[in-house]
Amino acid sequence: MLWNAILLALREIRRNIMRSSLTALGIIIGVAAVIIMVTLGSGATAKVTKQISSLGSNMLLIRPGQGMHGPGGRQSTASAFKVEDAEAIARDISGLEAVAPSATQSMQAIYGNENWSTTAVGTTNAYLEVRDWPIEKGRRFSKSELHGGKAVCILGSTVGNKLFGGQDPLNATIRLKKLSFRVIGLLKTKGQSTFGTDRDDIALIPLRTLHRRITGNTNVSVIYVSVLDGVSIEMAKKDIERLMRERRHISQREDDDFNVMDMREIVKILSGTTRVLTGLLGAVAAVSLLVGGIGIMNIMLVSVTERTREIGIRLALGALEREVLLQFLVEAVVLSSLGGIIGIMFALTTSLVLSKVLLVPFIFNIGIVFISFIFSVAVGIIFGYFPARKAARLDPIEALRHE
Amino acid sequence: MKAISKISGRPLIEIKDVSKVYGQGQAVMHALRGINLQITNGDFVAVMGPSGSGKSTCLNILGCLDTPTLGTYLFMGIDVGKLTRNQRALLRRHYLGFVFQNYNLLKRTSSIENVELPLIYRGLPAAERHAYSLNALKAVGLKGWEHHTAGELSGGQQQRVAIARAIVTEPTVLLADEPTGNLDSERSRETIELLARFNRDKGITIVMVTHETDMASYAKRSINFIDGLIVNDKLQETS
């Protein structure tokens, strides 16, 4: 009986190609929307996670102020760190790979006729290690340059390109805040950050140079710390917090006036956010799949009315109620699963193209493909059932008389 | 005057005091007012009468599409009034064939697929189905028209496809509701002769509703309905 129903259903579908394709269209769009949204969404999640871990997932960021504690924090009143704080961390806490104190100042960089506004970061060679940032050309700071506060700089690739174009910047002299600096190195391109800022728009100078010649104080705005592989980041974080509370004379009852941020927290937060967004988009797309299902029901209901005579003929020829029901149900299921398959193929090609255009990795998620196929078949069964039952229950005499 | 069963034993169709009432209260309509009728195997009955006289209702009941309000209808000894919808569908599938005034072929469907339809419901395998259908189309003179759809055929041809569909299952009874109503006199004559031939050669019992006396003259017996009652039931010489 099922075989007969399939045969009859396929004949009806073939006979009414236009109606059939319109019915399937709703499901095609619904399934395609779900898969495209989820595929691109998980691609974006993967991209964000990868970008953040490129910041260094074993990195801790220590900043004065309460950081992410919202309004009422003590950001403004918290005193800055000093170089000694970084030295104390490096000396007293075990399991650290590198500790890089840094202070930043935005300034104009000038070379010949070119000028570019950038950020100067006063730091040490440890900065390159913590941020896992190799030198493309040239060299790091020498010991004497660091200790003597010499006017030398290492440029990020953006600054290098803006000032020098295609020329070799090494050993050239540029001006930063009215001072002449010799370019000793060029950093490897790191690309945009997750937040859309250009990480290569930077000029590194020795911390002591920044303190002595530019800011005139010995403040450190951020201390970057990288933890050795295999050492617990939580432990290092706790140790640093204890040490800093001691050094900053914070009593038991007081909150920290500094903040140790774990990069993995940010990874968690951001990938969590994109995952939520993906889920949201998927839900929106699922609604469109539902709408597609209702579309199937509409067309099937209309087609029951339109096909009343046909149903009457079938019933007169001796079709059983359940045979008519099954035929209509199979028609709906065939259309919706066909729509599902076409939708899946359409979605995969589209998301392949879109992921190239949007520069996110193409992540083939067999789960969502499977789920949306099952869903489209379910839509066919659920929304095909009522029209099918209506058709099966028609009175043959009335149906035959129908114009 | 009384029709007498030519074959011994039970008549094929036995209608006893059958009434059919539509509607309720003020709008009540008596389509049949207690009719009695027996039809034996191999008969060819023409049912005549003005519109609304109950002849179509009678045919629907004979075809197991409808059930009597009162009285009993025995088809091959089975009380059809006591059957479920699906059991009546099975009776139609296995013993009855239908020919309608407006052909009632499936639209956009080839002749052969139309003729195959009752065989599909009977569950015949594809090869047999195909062979029987080709034979039936040949028998109605439509060899070579197997793959034309209803829209590509003339009225007479469509009615012949419908007849092929009705006889392909070799039914016990063929019920025809004004089969020549939409055809010109030439096509009508061909159609009725076709029916008469299946009655004569294959012994298919035919009950045919018609308005036209010259069509009725092909039948072995004619019955007249007026106001839900049988007023005349006579055997006649066939031409």
Residues A29 and A113 placed together within one structural domain of the fold: no
Residue of A nearest to B92 (CA): A318
> What's the confidence (pLDDT) of residue A230?
79
B90–A318: do the CB atoms touch at under 8 Å? yes
> What's the confidence (pLDDT) of residue A323?
92
- A312 Cβ under 8 Å from any chain B Cβ: yes
In a domain, A60, yes or no: no
Count A/B contacts: CB-CB distance under 8 Å: 62
Nearest-Cα distance to chain B for A340, in Å, is: 27
A397–B65: do the CB atoms touch at under 8 Å? yes
Residues A198 and A313 placed together within one structural domain of the fold: no
Alpha carbon distance A133, A114 (integer Å) = 26
Alpha carbon distance A88, A97 (integer Å) = 14
B contacts of A321 (beta carbons < 8 Å): 85-86, 89
Alpha carbon distance A261, A238 (integer Å) = 11
In a domain, A278, yes or no: yes
ipTM over 0.90: yes
In a domain, A165, yes or no: yes
> What's the confidence (pLDDT) of residue A5?
87
Structural domain tally of chain A? 2
A353 pLDDT more than 80:
yes
- B131 Cβ under 8 Å from any chain A Cβ: no
> What's the confidence (pLDDT) of residue B141?
93
Residues A195 and A275 placed together within one structural domain of the fold: no
* Per-residue pLDDT reduced to its tens digit, A305-320: 888 889 999 999 999 9
Residues A30 and A106 placed together within one structural domain of the fold: no
In a domain, B1, yes or no: no
Instruction: Name the E strands within chain B.
Output: 13-22, 29-39, 44-48, 70-75, 78-79, 96-99, 173-177, 205-209, 221-226, 229-235
Assign A362 to helix, strand or coil: coil
A314–B117: do the CB atoms touch at under 8 Å? yes
A73 pLDDT more than 50:
no
In a domain, A63, yes or no: no
A11–B109: do the CB atoms touch at under 8 Å? yes
Domain holding A223, by residue range, is 80-247
- Is the CB of residue B59 less than 8 Å from the CB of residue A289? no
Q: Lowest-confidence range among A106-120, A342-356, B3-17?
A: B3-17
In the block, residue with structure tokens 């039914």? B171
Nearest-Cα distance to chain B for A274, in Å, is: 52
Query: Mean pLDDT across chain A, nearest whole number?
Result: 86
Residues recorded for chain A: 403
In a domain, A62, yes or no: no
Residues A41 and A186 placed together within one structural domain of the fold: no
Q: In terms of Cα–Cα distance, which of A174, A212, A266, A220 is closest to A81?
A: A220
The domain that holds B91 is classified in CATH as: 3.40.50.300
In a domain, B7, yes or no: no
B147 pLDDT more than 90:
yes
A317–B90: do the CB atoms touch at under 8 Å? no
Q: Which of residues 132-171 of B touch A (CB under 8 A)?
A: 165
In a domain, A261, yes or no: no
A318–B65: do the CB atoms touch at under 8 Å? no
A317–B98: do the CB atoms touch at under 8 Å? yes
A contacts of B75 (beta carbons < 8 Å): none
A318–B93: do the CB atoms touch at under 8 Å? yes
Structural domain tally of chain B? 1
Domain holding B70, by residue range, is 13-235
In a domain, A64, yes or no: no
A49 pLDDT more than 90:
no
A4–B106: do the CB atoms touch at under 8 Å? no
Residues A8 and A97 placed together within one structural domain of the fold: no
Alpha carbon distance B31, B54 (integer Å) = 5
Residues A115 and A237 placed together within one structural domain of the fold: yes
- Calculate what percentage of chain B has a pLDDT beyond 90: 86
B65–A396: do the CB atoms touch at under 8 Å? yes
> What's the confidence (pLDDT) of residue A186?
92
B6 confidence band (pLDDT: 50, 70, 90): very low
Nearest-Cα distance to chain B for A385, in Å, is: 19
Residues A120 and A31 placed together within one structural domain of the fold: no
A70 pLDDT more than 70:
no
Residues A276 and A369 placed together within one structural domain of the fold: yes
B contacts of A4 (beta carbons < 8 Å): 120-121, 123
> What's the confidence (pLDDT) of residue A2?
81
